[in-house]
């Protein structure tokens, strides 16, 4: 393994591992986690581009990657004066960097430089994550920052022994492989919950809740980061597998206590960073399991 690859993977594993632990324990991840890992990633990216004598357009793409990363960390309303001016200038420079690449290097540079392809792919993933955060209800700020960190820390596929690729010995850019593998692992969570509930004899109609949560003693649920799926509504005890956000949780637990519900069904609110951490290691040391299990079989069907 190349030294830069080893450093990147070590930093990424440390940041995502700590982020997963912190998110599970407190449902919070300090921004410093991503700032340190992302800042280190940008420094390593600059060192690698300098060593490779990258083109001006490739440097422009790297600048845009850096600006998109720090956009998630810098609050425009919290800075002023020269700091705000410098940050605005950096944003303009990032847009100019992408414009320079598109106008003066473009397609020919993509064909000639794997680094440029990977940086464009990293930018696309980062833009998609911002869109998902602003327009989708299923992802939190820490999740977005974690994926942005992966994109800037390991934009190029590390040589760590992975053998699974989407297209022969070629594959999707590494951050995309991490993202796709994370979706696969996240989809495996209901299977794990079902196995847990079967093992503990907690299966009952209408069955769907066994894929989405577990039964937990009420006292434990009060002190845990969980949502109630068993609820008291209009004086009746109902099962609501699709959890509603914004519930008054103390009132919900009190209502269940009054109704003598000792072991309600709850959603564990498993943080996305946990499967993302597993997907990062999986992508580095195994490869593109998502494409191997889902994309490749579909391709064979249409041959």
Tell me the pLDDT of the chain averaged across its residues.
Answer: 88
Tell me what percent of the residues of the chain surpass a pLDDT of 90.
54
Domain extents in the chain: 3-160, 189-267
State the average pLDDT over residues 95-105.
90
**When comparing pLDDT for 131 and 136, which is higher?**
131
Using an 8 Å Cβ cutoff, are 20 and 276 in contact? yes
Q: Residue 287 — φ and ψ, nearest 5°?
A: 125, -155
Give the pair of three-digit tokens for residue 22: 């912190």
Q: Is the pLDDT of residue 299 over 60?
A: no
Give dist(CA 125, CA 273) in Å, integer.
16
CB atoms inside a 10 Å sphere around CB 3: 7
> Between vectors from CA 255 to CA 252 and to CA 257, what angle results, nearest 5°?
110
Q: Is the pLDDT of residue 170 over 80?
A: no
CB atoms inside a 10 Å sphere around CB 172: 21
Between 53-67, 137-151, 161-175, the lowest mean confidence (pLDDT) is in 161-175
pLDDT tens for 221-279 read: 998 888 898 998 888 888 887 766 677 888 989 999 988 998 999 988 889 999 999 99
> Between vectors from CA 8 to CA 278 and to CA 45, what angle results, nearest 5°?
130
Q: What is the pLDDT of residue 161?
A: 78
Q: Is the pLDDT of residue 166 over 80?
A: no
Q: Residue 73: name the closest of 23, 37, 97, 45 by CA.
A: 37
Question: Is 53 strand, coil or helix?
Answer: coil
Q: Is the pLDDT of residue 115 over 90?
A: no
Tell me what percent of the residues of the chain surpass a pLDDT of 70.
92
pLDDT tens for 16-75 read: 999 999 999 988 999 999 999 999 999 999 999 999 999 999 999 999 999 999 999 988
Q: Residue 270: name the closest of 213, 229, 223 by CA.
A: 213
């Amino acid at each position: 393994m190349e030294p830069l690859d080893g450093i990147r993977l070590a930093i990424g594993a440390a940041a995502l591992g700590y982020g997963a632990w912190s998110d599970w324990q407190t449902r919070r991840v300090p921004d410093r986690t991503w700032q340190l890992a992302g800042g280190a990633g940008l420094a390593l990216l600059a060192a690698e581009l300098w060593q490779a004598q990258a083109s001006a357009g490739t440097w422009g793409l790297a600048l845009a990657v850096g600006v998109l990363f720090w956009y998630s960390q810098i609050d425009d309303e919290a800075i002023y004066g020269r700091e705000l001016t410098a940050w605005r200038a950096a944003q303009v420079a990032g847009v100019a960097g992408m414009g320079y690449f598109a106008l003066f290097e473009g397609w020919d540079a993509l064909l000639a430089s794997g680094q440029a392809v990977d940086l464009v792919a990293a930018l696309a993933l980062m833009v998609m994550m911002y869109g998902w955060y602003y327009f989708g209800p299923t992802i939190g700020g820490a999740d977005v920052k974690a994926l942005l960190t992966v994109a800037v820390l390991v934009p190029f596929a590390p040589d760590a022994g992975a053998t699974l690729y989407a297209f022969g010995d070629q594959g999707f850019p590494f951050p995309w492989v991490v993202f796709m593998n994370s979706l696969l692992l996240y989809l495996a969570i209901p299977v794990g919950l079902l196995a847990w509930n079967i093992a503990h004899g907690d299966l009952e109609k209408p069955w769907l809740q066994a894929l989405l949560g577990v039964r937990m003693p009420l006292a434990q649920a009060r002190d845990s980061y969980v949502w109630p799926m068993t609820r008291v509504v209009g004086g009746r005890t109902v099962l609501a597998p699709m959890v509603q956000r914004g519930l008054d949780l103390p009132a919900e637990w009190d209502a269940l206590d009054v109704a003598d519900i000792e072991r309600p069904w709850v959603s564990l609110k498993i943080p996305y960073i946990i499967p993302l951490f597993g997907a990062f290691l999986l992508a580095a040391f195994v490869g593109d399991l998502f494409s191997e299990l889902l994309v490749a079989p579909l391709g064979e069907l249409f041959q």
